[in-house]
Structure 1
Amino acid sequence: MKTKTALITGSTSGIGQATALKLAHDGVRVVVSGRDDQRGLEVVEQIRAAGGTAHFVGADLRDARSAAELAAKATAVAESAGGSLDILVNNAAIGAGGPTAGTEESTFDSVLATNLKAPFYLVANIAPAMAARGGGAIVNVSTLAAQRALPGLAVYGASKAALDLLTRSWAAEFGAAGVRVNSVSPGPTRTPGAEAGLGEMLQQLAEQAPLGFVADPEDIAAAIAFLAGDGARFVTGAVLDVSGGRTVV
Protein backbone atom coordinates (compact mmCIF):
# COMPACT_ATOMS: atom_id res chain seq x y z
CA MET A 1 0.00 0.00 0.00
CA LYS A 2 2.95 2.34 0.56
CA THR A 3 3.37 3.09 -3.15
CA LYS A 4 -0.32 3.76 -3.80
CA THR A 5 -2.41 6.92 -4.07
CA ALA A 6 -6.09 7.08 -3.16
CA LEU A 7 -8.78 9.64 -3.98
CA ILE A 8 -11.53 9.72 -1.34
CA THR A 9 -14.53 11.90 -2.12
CA GLY A 10 -16.41 13.54 0.72
CA SER A 11 -13.45 13.02 3.04
CA THR A 12 -13.64 16.23 5.08
CA SER A 13 -15.77 14.58 7.79
CA GLY A 14 -17.47 11.36 8.87
CA ILE A 15 -16.77 8.09 7.10
CA GLY A 16 -14.70 9.77 4.40
CA GLN A 17 -12.42 11.46 6.91
CA ALA A 18 -12.00 8.23 8.88
CA THR A 19 -11.14 6.43 5.64
CA ALA A 20 -8.55 9.04 4.71
CA LEU A 21 -6.92 8.70 8.13
CA LYS A 22 -6.98 4.89 7.95
CA LEU A 23 -5.48 4.65 4.48
CA ALA A 24 -2.85 7.25 5.31
CA HIS A 25 -1.96 5.26 8.44
CA ASP A 26 -1.51 2.23 6.16
CA GLY A 27 0.97 4.20 4.06
CA VAL A 28 -1.26 5.29 1.18
CA ARG A 29 -0.84 8.78 -0.29
CA VAL A 30 -4.26 10.34 0.15
CA VAL A 31 -6.10 12.94 -1.91
CA VAL A 32 -8.71 14.42 0.40
CA SER A 33 -11.66 15.98 -1.39
CA GLY A 34 -14.81 17.86 -0.43
CA ARG A 35 -16.68 21.14 -0.64
CA ASP A 36 -15.28 22.75 2.51
CA ASP A 37 -11.70 23.90 1.97
CA GLN A 38 -11.06 24.65 5.64
CA ARG A 39 -12.18 21.24 6.84
CA GLY A 40 -10.27 19.58 4.03
CA LEU A 41 -7.05 21.32 4.96
CA GLU A 42 -7.59 20.34 8.61
CA VAL A 43 -7.83 16.67 7.60
CA VAL A 44 -4.64 17.01 5.55
CA GLU A 45 -2.82 18.57 8.49
CA GLN A 46 -4.06 15.80 10.77
CA ILE A 47 -2.67 13.18 8.38
CA ARG A 48 0.65 14.97 7.96
CA ALA A 49 1.01 15.44 11.72
CA ALA A 50 0.76 11.66 12.08
CA GLY A 51 3.48 11.14 9.46
CA GLY A 52 1.26 10.47 6.46
CA THR A 53 1.10 12.07 3.03
CA ALA A 54 -2.00 13.96 1.94
CA HIS A 55 -3.19 16.70 -0.39
CA PHE A 56 -6.53 18.50 -0.61
CA VAL A 57 -8.47 19.04 -3.82
CA GLY A 58 -11.73 20.94 -3.45
CA ALA A 59 -14.74 19.67 -5.38
CA ASP A 60 -18.50 20.06 -5.38
CA LEU A 61 -19.54 16.91 -7.19
CA ARG A 62 -22.75 17.72 -9.04
CA ASP A 63 -22.24 16.66 -12.64
CA ALA A 64 -20.00 14.98 -15.19
CA ARG A 65 -17.81 18.07 -15.60
CA SER A 66 -17.02 18.42 -11.88
CA ALA A 67 -16.22 14.70 -11.70
CA ALA A 68 -13.87 14.93 -14.69
CA GLU A 69 -12.12 17.95 -13.19
CA LEU A 70 -11.59 16.20 -9.85
CA ALA A 71 -10.31 13.07 -11.59
CA ALA A 72 -7.78 15.14 -13.55
CA LYS A 73 -6.56 17.06 -10.50
CA ALA A 74 -6.24 13.93 -8.35
CA THR A 75 -4.37 12.14 -11.13
CA ALA A 76 -2.00 15.07 -11.41
CA VAL A 77 -1.31 14.93 -7.66
CA ALA A 78 -0.50 11.22 -7.90
CA GLU A 79 1.73 11.64 -10.93
CA SER A 80 3.60 14.57 -9.36
CA ALA A 81 4.69 12.14 -6.64
CA GLY A 82 5.88 9.68 -9.25
CA GLY A 83 2.90 7.38 -8.89
CA SER A 84 -0.58 6.79 -10.21
CA LEU A 85 -4.14 6.98 -8.93
CA ASP A 86 -4.63 3.41 -7.70
CA ILE A 87 -7.64 3.64 -5.36
CA LEU A 88 -10.95 5.49 -5.70
CA VAL A 89 -13.41 5.67 -2.82
CA ASN A 90 -16.77 7.09 -3.90
CA ASN A 91 -18.02 8.34 -0.55
CA ALA A 92 -19.50 11.81 -1.20
CA ALA A 93 -23.28 11.75 -0.92
CA ILE A 94 -26.39 13.72 -0.10
CA GLY A 95 -28.59 11.98 2.46
CA ALA A 96 -31.87 13.82 1.90
CA GLY A 97 -34.95 12.32 3.52
CA GLY A 98 -38.68 12.95 3.76
CA PRO A 99 -41.98 11.70 2.35
CA THR A 100 -42.23 11.07 -1.36
CA ALA A 101 -45.12 13.51 -1.81
CA GLY A 102 -43.12 16.34 -0.28
CA THR A 103 -39.89 15.83 -2.18
CA GLU A 104 -38.93 18.80 -4.35
CA GLU A 105 -37.61 18.08 -7.83
CA SER A 106 -34.46 20.04 -7.01
CA THR A 107 -33.80 17.72 -4.06
CA PHE A 108 -34.37 14.65 -6.21
CA ASP A 109 -31.99 15.97 -8.86
CA SER A 110 -29.30 16.90 -6.31
CA VAL A 111 -29.36 13.47 -4.65
CA LEU A 112 -29.08 11.63 -7.97
CA ALA A 113 -26.39 14.00 -9.25
CA THR A 114 -24.12 13.61 -6.22
CA ASN A 115 -24.85 10.00 -5.26
CA LEU A 116 -25.00 8.47 -8.73
CA LYS A 117 -23.92 10.73 -11.59
CA ALA A 118 -20.69 11.89 -9.92
CA PRO A 119 -19.45 8.36 -9.07
CA PHE A 120 -20.36 7.21 -12.58
CA TYR A 121 -18.23 9.88 -14.22
CA LEU A 122 -15.40 9.56 -11.72
CA VAL A 123 -15.16 5.90 -12.66
CA ALA A 124 -15.48 6.79 -16.35
CA ASN A 125 -12.47 9.11 -16.01
CA ILE A 126 -10.32 7.00 -13.65
CA ALA A 127 -10.99 3.30 -14.26
CA PRO A 128 -9.69 3.16 -17.87
CA ALA A 129 -6.23 4.32 -16.72
CA MET A 130 -6.31 1.73 -13.93
CA ALA A 131 -7.20 -0.91 -16.49
CA ALA A 132 -4.38 0.19 -18.78
CA ARG A 133 -1.92 -0.27 -15.88
CA GLY A 134 -3.37 -3.68 -15.07
CA GLY A 135 -4.89 -2.98 -11.67
CA GLY A 136 -6.74 -0.74 -9.27
CA ALA A 137 -9.42 -0.76 -6.60
CA ILE A 138 -12.70 1.14 -6.47
CA VAL A 139 -14.89 1.14 -3.37
CA ASN A 140 -18.36 2.66 -3.44
CA VAL A 141 -19.98 3.65 -0.15
CA SER A 142 -23.60 2.53 -0.18
CA THR A 143 -26.14 2.28 2.64
CA LEU A 144 -28.44 -0.11 4.47
CA ALA A 145 -31.31 1.87 2.92
CA ALA A 146 -30.34 0.44 -0.48
CA GLN A 147 -31.34 -3.03 0.72
CA ARG A 148 -33.96 -2.47 3.42
CA ALA A 149 -36.94 -0.19 2.86
CA LEU A 150 -36.73 2.65 5.37
CA PRO A 151 -39.60 5.18 5.42
CA GLY A 152 -38.58 8.62 4.26
CA LEU A 153 -35.42 7.47 2.50
CA ALA A 154 -36.87 6.53 -0.88
CA VAL A 155 -34.73 8.79 -3.07
CA TYR A 156 -31.56 8.29 -1.04
CA GLY A 157 -32.03 4.52 -0.94
CA ALA A 158 -32.80 4.34 -4.65
CA SER A 159 -29.66 6.32 -5.53
CA LYS A 160 -27.50 3.93 -3.51
CA ALA A 161 -29.27 0.81 -4.81
CA ALA A 162 -28.38 2.01 -8.29
CA LEU A 163 -24.79 2.53 -7.15
CA ASP A 164 -24.68 -1.09 -5.93
CA LEU A 165 -25.83 -2.19 -9.39
CA LEU A 166 -23.08 -0.10 -10.94
CA THR A 167 -20.62 -1.80 -8.59
CA ARG A 168 -21.49 -5.17 -10.08
CA SER A 169 -21.55 -3.82 -13.63
CA TRP A 170 -18.12 -2.21 -13.25
CA ALA A 171 -16.70 -5.34 -11.65
CA ALA A 172 -17.72 -7.23 -14.79
CA GLU A 173 -16.54 -4.48 -17.14
CA PHE A 174 -13.09 -3.88 -15.66
CA GLY A 175 -12.32 -7.14 -13.90
CA ALA A 176 -10.43 -8.72 -16.79
CA ALA A 177 -8.00 -5.79 -16.65
CA GLY A 178 -7.35 -6.32 -12.94
CA VAL A 179 -9.57 -3.54 -11.58
CA ARG A 180 -11.67 -4.58 -8.58
CA VAL A 181 -14.93 -2.78 -7.75
CA ASN A 182 -16.85 -3.33 -4.51
CA SER A 183 -19.38 -1.60 -2.26
CA VAL A 184 -19.49 -1.13 1.49
CA SER A 185 -23.00 -0.86 2.90
CA PRO A 186 -22.98 0.84 6.32
CA GLY A 187 -25.74 0.65 8.88
CA PRO A 188 -26.36 3.35 11.50
CA THR A 189 -23.07 5.22 11.91
CA ARG A 190 -22.24 8.09 14.24
CA THR A 191 -21.35 10.78 11.69
CA PRO A 192 -22.21 14.49 11.94
CA GLY A 193 -24.67 14.13 9.06
CA ALA A 194 -26.43 11.09 10.50
CA GLU A 195 -26.70 12.58 13.97
CA ALA A 196 -28.10 15.83 12.60
CA GLY A 197 -30.55 14.12 10.26
CA LEU A 198 -31.71 11.17 12.38
CA GLY A 199 -31.15 12.24 15.99
CA GLU A 200 -32.51 9.64 18.41
CA MET A 201 -33.65 7.47 15.51
CA LEU A 202 -29.99 6.58 14.92
CA GLN A 203 -29.91 4.55 18.14
CA GLN A 204 -33.36 3.12 17.46
CA LEU A 205 -32.22 1.83 14.07
CA ALA A 206 -29.10 0.34 15.62
CA GLU A 207 -31.14 -1.50 18.25
CA GLN A 208 -33.00 -3.36 15.49
CA ALA A 209 -29.75 -5.14 14.53
CA PRO A 210 -28.25 -8.13 16.38
CA LEU A 211 -25.21 -6.16 17.58
CA GLY A 212 -27.40 -3.34 18.79
CA PHE A 213 -25.01 -0.39 18.77
CA VAL A 214 -24.24 2.54 16.51
CA ALA A 215 -21.03 2.19 14.48
CA ASP A 216 -18.19 4.67 14.60
CA PRO A 217 -16.87 5.99 11.27
CA GLU A 218 -13.68 4.02 11.91
CA ASP A 219 -15.66 0.77 11.77
CA ILE A 220 -16.74 1.55 8.23
CA ALA A 221 -13.31 2.85 7.26
CA ALA A 222 -11.74 -0.47 8.26
CA ALA A 223 -14.02 -2.32 5.82
CA ILE A 224 -13.26 0.17 3.04
CA ALA A 225 -9.53 -0.18 3.65
CA PHE A 226 -9.82 -3.95 3.45
CA LEU A 227 -11.56 -3.84 0.08
CA ALA A 228 -9.08 -1.27 -1.21
CA GLY A 229 -6.09 -3.35 -0.15
CA ASP A 230 -4.30 -6.33 -1.64
CA GLY A 231 -5.75 -8.61 1.03
CA ALA A 232 -9.02 -8.45 -0.94
CA ARG A 233 -7.38 -9.27 -4.28
CA PHE A 234 -9.95 -12.01 -5.00
CA VAL A 235 -12.97 -9.89 -4.03
CA THR A 236 -14.90 -7.94 -6.66
CA GLY A 237 -18.53 -7.19 -7.38
CA ALA A 238 -19.38 -7.59 -3.68
CA VAL A 239 -21.59 -5.48 -1.43
CA LEU A 240 -20.09 -5.84 2.05
CA ASP A 241 -22.65 -5.23 4.79
CA VAL A 242 -21.23 -3.34 7.76
CA SER A 243 -24.56 -2.92 9.52
CA GLY A 244 -24.29 -4.78 12.80
CA GLY A 245 -26.27 -7.64 11.26
CA ARG A 246 -29.32 -5.56 10.33
CA THR A 247 -29.77 -7.31 6.98
CA VAL A 248 -30.21 -10.75 8.61
CA VAL A 249 -33.23 -9.83 10.74
Structure 2
Amino acid sequence: MIPDYRDEFTGKRVVITGAAGLIGTWTAEAFHAQGAELLLSDNRSEPLASLAGKLGAHGVVADLSTADGVTALTDAIDARWPTADILINNAGVYPRTPVSTTDRAMVERIFDINVIAPYQLAQHVIAAMTRTGTTGCIVNISSGAAKRPTRTGGVYSASKAALEMLTRSLALETGEAGIRVNCVGPGFAPGSEVSELPDEHIAKMRAAIPLGRTSGPGDAPSAILWLCSNAASFVTGTTLDVDGGRTAGDFTPTGGGS
Protein backbone atom coordinates (compact mmCIF):
# COMPACT_ATOMS: atom_id res chain seq x y z
CA MET A 1 0.00 0.00 0.00
CA ILE A 2 1.29 3.45 -0.92
CA PRO A 3 1.46 5.86 2.05
CA ASP A 4 -0.64 9.03 2.07
CA TYR A 5 1.47 11.97 0.89
CA ARG A 6 -1.41 14.24 -0.08
CA ASP A 7 -0.30 16.98 2.31
CA GLU A 8 2.96 17.14 0.34
CA PHE A 9 1.95 16.35 -3.23
CA THR A 10 -1.41 18.10 -3.67
CA GLY A 11 -0.84 20.68 -6.40
CA LYS A 12 2.72 19.56 -7.12
CA ARG A 13 3.60 19.77 -10.82
CA VAL A 14 4.81 16.38 -12.02
CA VAL A 15 6.19 15.41 -15.44
CA ILE A 16 6.31 11.69 -16.30
CA THR A 17 7.81 10.37 -19.53
CA GLY A 18 6.94 6.97 -20.95
CA ALA A 19 3.67 7.40 -19.10
CA ALA A 20 1.67 4.95 -21.22
CA GLY A 21 3.91 2.02 -20.26
CA LEU A 22 3.23 -0.16 -17.25
CA ILE A 23 5.58 1.52 -14.76
CA GLY A 24 4.67 4.93 -16.14
CA THR A 25 0.96 4.26 -15.77
CA TRP A 26 1.34 2.96 -12.23
CA THR A 27 3.42 6.00 -11.33
CA ALA A 28 0.98 8.44 -12.91
CA GLU A 29 -1.92 6.83 -11.07
CA ALA A 30 -0.01 7.02 -7.79
CA PHE A 31 0.79 10.73 -8.14
CA HIS A 32 -2.79 11.43 -9.26
CA ALA A 33 -4.10 9.74 -6.11
CA GLN A 34 -1.87 12.07 -4.08
CA GLY A 35 -3.39 15.19 -5.68
CA ALA A 36 -0.56 16.11 -8.04
CA GLU A 37 -0.98 17.98 -11.33
CA LEU A 38 0.31 15.79 -14.15
CA LEU A 39 1.94 16.37 -17.49
CA LEU A 40 2.33 12.99 -19.16
CA SER A 41 4.43 12.17 -22.20
CA ASP A 42 4.69 9.13 -24.48
CA ASN A 43 5.26 8.42 -28.16
CA ARG A 44 2.04 6.38 -28.39
CA SER A 45 -0.89 8.72 -28.86
CA GLU A 46 -3.87 6.45 -28.17
CA PRO A 47 -2.82 4.91 -24.82
CA LEU A 48 -1.48 8.29 -23.71
CA ALA A 49 -4.77 10.00 -24.54
CA SER A 50 -6.67 7.30 -22.67
CA LEU A 51 -4.52 7.62 -19.56
CA ALA A 52 -4.49 11.42 -19.61
CA GLY A 53 -8.28 11.48 -19.98
CA LYS A 54 -8.72 9.04 -17.11
CA LEU A 55 -6.52 11.09 -14.78
CA GLY A 56 -7.49 14.56 -15.97
CA ALA A 57 -3.88 15.14 -16.98
CA HIS A 58 -2.23 16.97 -19.85
CA GLY A 59 -0.75 14.62 -22.45
CA VAL A 60 2.11 15.39 -24.83
CA VAL A 61 2.94 13.01 -27.67
CA ALA A 62 6.70 13.16 -28.13
CA ASP A 63 9.34 10.87 -29.60
CA LEU A 64 12.22 11.35 -27.18
CA SER A 65 14.68 9.67 -29.53
CA THR A 66 14.75 12.95 -31.48
CA ALA A 67 15.81 16.48 -30.60
CA ASP A 68 12.45 17.74 -31.89
CA GLY A 69 10.61 15.36 -29.56
CA VAL A 70 12.53 16.57 -26.52
CA THR A 71 11.91 20.18 -27.54
CA ALA A 72 8.19 19.50 -27.95
CA LEU A 73 8.07 18.25 -24.37
CA THR A 74 10.14 21.05 -22.85
CA ASP A 75 8.02 23.59 -24.73
CA ALA A 76 4.88 21.97 -23.33
CA ILE A 77 6.27 22.13 -19.79
CA ASP A 78 7.15 25.82 -20.20
CA ALA A 79 3.75 26.62 -21.66
CA ARG A 80 2.00 25.02 -18.72
CA TRP A 81 4.09 25.98 -15.69
CA PRO A 82 6.98 28.26 -14.67
CA THR A 83 8.68 25.01 -13.65
CA ALA A 84 7.93 21.41 -12.80
CA ASP A 85 8.38 20.36 -9.18
CA ILE A 86 9.08 16.73 -10.05
CA LEU A 87 10.46 15.05 -13.17
CA ILE A 88 10.20 11.29 -13.61
CA ASN A 89 12.40 10.15 -16.51
CA ASN A 90 10.71 6.81 -17.16
CA ALA A 91 10.77 6.48 -20.97
CA GLY A 92 13.10 3.76 -22.19
CA VAL A 93 13.66 1.10 -24.83
CA TYR A 94 15.05 -2.42 -24.43
CA PRO A 95 15.79 -4.09 -27.75
CA ARG A 96 17.12 -7.62 -27.22
CA THR A 97 20.22 -7.55 -29.35
CA PRO A 98 23.80 -8.70 -28.62
CA VAL A 99 26.47 -6.03 -28.52
CA SER A 100 28.46 -7.82 -31.21
CA THR A 101 25.63 -7.56 -33.75
CA THR A 102 24.00 -4.25 -32.81
CA ASP A 103 24.45 -1.60 -35.48
CA ARG A 104 25.31 2.02 -34.75
CA ALA A 105 21.81 3.28 -35.51
CA MET A 106 20.31 1.01 -32.85
CA VAL A 107 22.96 1.95 -30.29
CA GLU A 108 22.25 5.62 -30.92
CA ARG A 109 18.49 5.10 -30.55
CA ILE A 110 18.92 3.27 -27.23
CA PHE A 111 21.20 5.97 -25.83
CA ASP A 112 19.09 8.80 -27.26
CA ILE A 113 16.02 7.60 -25.35
CA ASN A 114 17.61 6.05 -22.25
CA VAL A 115 20.35 8.62 -21.57
CA ILE A 116 20.33 11.71 -23.80
CA ALA A 117 16.63 12.53 -23.35
CA PRO A 118 16.79 12.23 -19.52
CA TYR A 119 19.92 14.39 -19.55
CA GLN A 120 18.28 17.09 -21.69
CA LEU A 121 15.01 17.05 -19.75
CA ALA A 122 16.83 17.17 -16.42
CA GLN A 123 19.00 20.03 -17.69
CA HIS A 124 15.91 21.98 -18.74
CA VAL A 125 13.97 21.35 -15.54
CA ILE A 126 16.97 22.09 -13.30
CA ALA A 127 17.43 25.46 -15.02
CA ALA A 128 13.76 26.30 -14.41
CA MET A 129 13.90 25.10 -10.80
CA THR A 130 17.01 27.19 -10.17
CA ARG A 131 15.49 30.24 -11.83
CA THR A 132 12.32 30.02 -9.71
CA GLY A 133 14.01 28.91 -6.49
CA THR A 134 12.19 25.57 -6.54
CA THR A 135 13.68 22.75 -4.47
CA GLY A 136 12.39 19.98 -6.69
CA CYS A 137 13.15 16.34 -7.36
CA ILE A 138 14.18 14.26 -10.34
CA VAL A 139 13.85 10.48 -10.40
CA ASN A 140 15.40 8.56 -13.27
CA ILE A 141 14.10 5.05 -13.88
CA SER A 142 16.99 2.64 -14.16
CA SER A 143 17.08 -1.16 -14.18
CA GLY A 144 18.83 -4.07 -12.54
CA ALA A 145 20.45 -4.48 -15.95
CA ALA A 146 22.77 -1.62 -15.00
CA LYS A 147 24.43 -4.09 -12.62
CA ARG A 148 23.58 -7.46 -14.19
CA PRO A 149 23.98 -7.46 -17.99
CA THR A 150 22.60 -10.24 -20.14
CA ARG A 151 23.88 -11.79 -23.37
CA THR A 152 21.20 -10.06 -25.41
CA GLY A 153 20.94 -6.76 -23.56
CA GLY A 154 24.44 -5.36 -23.32
CA VAL A 155 23.75 -2.01 -24.95
CA TYR A 156 20.66 -1.52 -22.78
CA SER A 157 22.71 -2.36 -19.69
CA ALA A 158 25.36 0.15 -20.72
CA SER A 159 22.71 2.84 -21.19
CA LYS A 160 21.22 2.23 -17.74
CA ALA A 161 24.66 2.22 -16.12
CA ALA A 162 25.27 5.57 -17.81
CA LEU A 163 21.93 6.85 -16.50
CA GLU A 164 22.89 5.93 -12.95
CA MET A 165 26.21 7.75 -13.26
CA LEU A 166 24.41 10.75 -14.77
CA THR A 167 22.11 10.71 -11.75
CA ARG A 168 25.03 10.83 -9.34
CA SER A 169 26.70 13.62 -11.29
CA LEU A 170 23.53 15.72 -11.36
CA ALA A 171 23.07 15.20 -7.63
CA LEU A 172 26.52 16.64 -7.01
CA GLU A 173 25.79 19.63 -9.24
CA THR A 174 22.35 20.48 -7.82
CA GLY A 175 22.64 19.73 -4.12
CA GLU A 176 23.52 23.29 -3.15
CA ALA A 177 20.29 24.45 -4.81
CA GLY A 178 18.28 21.94 -2.76
CA ILE A 179 17.40 19.88 -5.82
CA ARG A 180 17.58 16.11 -5.34
CA VAL A 181 18.27 13.58 -8.11
CA ASN A 182 17.88 9.84 -7.62
CA CYS A 183 17.24 6.59 -9.47
CA VAL A 184 14.75 3.78 -8.98
CA GLY A 185 15.39 0.34 -10.44
CA PRO A 186 12.02 -1.39 -10.76
CA GLY A 187 11.76 -5.16 -10.53
CA PHE A 188 10.45 -7.52 -13.17
CA ALA A 189 6.80 -6.74 -13.90
CA PRO A 190 4.92 -8.95 -16.40
CA GLY A 191 3.15 -6.68 -18.85
CA SER A 192 5.88 -4.06 -18.96
CA GLU A 193 7.04 -5.35 -22.34
CA VAL A 194 5.37 -4.30 -25.57
CA SER A 195 5.04 -7.96 -26.54
CA GLU A 196 3.32 -10.50 -24.33
CA LEU A 197 5.68 -12.74 -22.37
CA PRO A 198 5.16 -16.53 -22.30
CA ASP A 199 4.17 -18.06 -18.97
CA GLU A 200 7.38 -20.11 -18.85
CA HIS A 201 9.51 -16.96 -19.04
CA ILE A 202 7.51 -15.26 -16.30
CA ALA A 203 7.86 -18.36 -14.10
CA LYS A 204 11.60 -18.46 -14.69
CA MET A 205 12.00 -14.79 -13.81
CA ARG A 206 9.85 -15.18 -10.69
CA ALA A 207 11.98 -18.11 -9.53
CA ALA A 208 15.08 -15.88 -9.65
CA ILE A 209 13.57 -13.31 -7.26
CA PRO A 210 14.40 -13.99 -3.59
CA LEU A 211 11.10 -12.55 -2.33
CA GLY A 212 9.24 -14.94 -4.62
CA ARG A 213 6.99 -12.63 -6.61
CA THR A 214 7.05 -10.20 -9.49
CA SER A 215 6.69 -6.44 -9.17
CA GLY A 216 3.20 -5.02 -8.64
CA PRO A 217 1.54 -1.62 -9.02
CA GLY A 218 2.54 -0.37 -5.57
CA ASP A 219 6.22 -1.30 -5.62
CA ALA A 220 8.14 1.11 -7.86
CA PRO A 221 5.64 3.97 -7.37
CA SER A 222 6.01 3.71 -3.57
CA ALA A 223 9.76 4.13 -3.92
CA ILE A 224 9.41 7.00 -6.38
CA LEU A 225 6.95 8.88 -4.17
CA TRP A 226 9.12 8.31 -1.11
CA LEU A 227 12.19 9.69 -2.88
CA CYS A 228 10.20 12.79 -3.85
CA SER A 229 8.81 13.25 -0.34
CA ASN A 230 10.15 15.09 2.69
CA ALA A 231 10.88 11.71 4.27
CA ALA A 232 13.78 11.41 1.81
CA SER A 233 14.97 15.00 2.17
CA PHE A 234 18.54 13.81 2.88
CA VAL A 235 18.67 11.33 -0.02
CA THR A 236 20.25 12.27 -3.32
CA GLY A 237 22.56 10.63 -5.85
CA THR A 238 21.47 7.10 -5.05
CA THR A 239 19.78 4.19 -6.82
CA LEU A 240 17.02 2.36 -4.99
CA ASP A 241 16.47 -1.11 -6.47
CA VAL A 242 12.90 -2.22 -5.86
CA ASP A 243 13.23 -5.72 -7.27
CA GLY A 244 12.64 -8.26 -4.52
CA GLY A 245 16.38 -8.86 -4.18
CA ARG A 246 16.99 -9.73 -7.84
CA THR A 247 20.12 -7.59 -8.12
CA ALA A 248 21.54 -8.76 -4.78
CA GLY A 249 23.15 -11.76 -6.47
CA ASP A 250 22.46 -15.19 -7.93
CA PHE A 251 19.53 -16.92 -6.27
CA THR A 252 18.46 -20.54 -6.35
CA PRO A 253 15.29 -21.46 -4.42
CA THR A 254 15.58 -24.17 -1.81
CA GLY A 255 13.23 -27.11 -1.82
CA GLY A 256 10.94 -25.13 0.42
CA GLY A 257 10.74 -22.29 -2.09
CA SER A 258 12.44 -19.73 0.15
TM-score (norm 1): 0.90
Matched with 2:30 is 22
1:116-135 to 2 correspondence within 5 Å? 116-132=115-131, 133-135=133-135
Deviation, structure 1 residue 39? 1.0
Matched with 1:88 is 87
Letter in 2 for 1:5: R
Which protein has the larger Cα radius of gyration, Structure 1 or Structure 2? 2
Say if 1:197 and 1:104 are closer, same or farther in 2 by CA, change over 3 A.
Answer: farther
TM-score (norm 2): 0.87
Distance 2:247 2:47 in 1: 34
- Assess if the C-alpha contact under 8 Å between 2:191 and 2:197 holds in 1: no
1:1-40 to 2 correspondence within 5 Å? 1-40=9-48
Matched with 1:157 is 157
Q: State the secondary structure of the residue aligned to 2:14.
A: strand
Task: Spell out, residue by residue over 1:92-144, the C-alpha distance to the aligned partner (whole angstroms, 9 max, x if none).
Answer: 00111122232232221111111011111111111111123141100000000
CA RMSD of aligned residues (A): 1.8
- 230-239 or 8-17, larger mean C-alpha shift: 230-239
1:99-248 to 2 correspondence within 5 Å? 99-132=98-131, 133-193=133-193, 196=196, 200-248=200-248
Distance 1:32 1:17 in 2: 9
Deviation, structure 1 residue 194? 6.5
Aligned residues: 240
Matched with 1:67 is 70
- Assess if the C-alpha contact under 8 Å between 1:184 and 1:242 holds in 2: yes
Task: Spell out, residue by residue over 1:48-86, the C-alpha distance to the aligned partner (whole angstroms, 9 max, x if none).
Answer: 3xxxxx11111110134422331221232234xxxx311
Task: Spell out, residue by residue over 1:153-196, the C-alpha distance to the aligned partner (whole angstroms, 9 max, x if none).
Answer: 10111000000000000000011101100000122112341763
- Assess if the C-alpha contact under 8 Å between 1:203 and 1:213 holds in 2: no
Deviation, structure 1 residue 203? 3.2
Letter in 2 for 1:89: I
Greater than 6 Å deviation, 4+ residue runs: none
Distance 1:87 1:106 in 2: 31
Deviation, structure 1 residue 199? 6.2
Matched with 2:253 is none
Question: Which structure has more helix as a fraction of its residues?
Answer: 1
Distance 2:117 2:205 in 1: 28
Distance 2:36 2:185 in 1: 23
Distance 2:215 2:200 in 1: 14
- Assess if the C-alpha contact under 8 Å between 2:135 and 2:177 holds in 1: yes
